[in-house]
């Protein structure tokens, strides 16, 4: 697997992909909580975690956009720098 990361473009895609997943997981959890309970007074804690079905949807969408971000980051870093 190490040979995959010898190429700097591949490294950029993977690093961008996983950073996006990590950071956006927390953001999406907060957005889920806000959307789920927007009709109530908001407090400072997260009230409930998403159901398994909602987690599946959230993670699937995140994987798609993480891939897009990784590819675009690689594309623009090679074109712009």
Supply the pLDDT for residue 3: 56
Measured from the Cβ of residue 28, the count of other Cβ atoms closer than 10 Å reads: 17
**Could you give the CA distance from residue 66 to residue 17 in angstroms, rounded to a whole number?**
5
Distance between CA 25 and CA 64 in Å, rounded?
13
What pTM was estimated for this model as a whole? 0.66
The per-residue pLDDT for 44 is: 57
pLDDT per residue as tens, the chain (81 positions): 555 556 677 777 888 888 888 888 888 888 887 777 776 665 555 556 788 898 898 889 989 998 898 888 888 876 655
The confidence score (pLDDT) of residue 64 equals 92
What residue ranges do the domains of the chain occupy?
2-38+49-80
**pLDDT (0 to 100) of residue 5:** 57
């Amino acid at each position: 697997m190490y040979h995959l990361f010898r190429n700097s473009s591949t490294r950029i895609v993977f690093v961008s992909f996983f950073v996006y997943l990590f950071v956006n997981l927390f953001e999406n959890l907060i957005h889920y909580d806000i959307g789920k309970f927007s009709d109530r007074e908001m407090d400072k804690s997260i009230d409930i975690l998403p159901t398994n079905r909602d987690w599946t949807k959230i993670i699937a969408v995140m994987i798609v956009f993480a891939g897009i971000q990784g590819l675009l980051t690689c594309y623009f870093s090679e074109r712009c720098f």
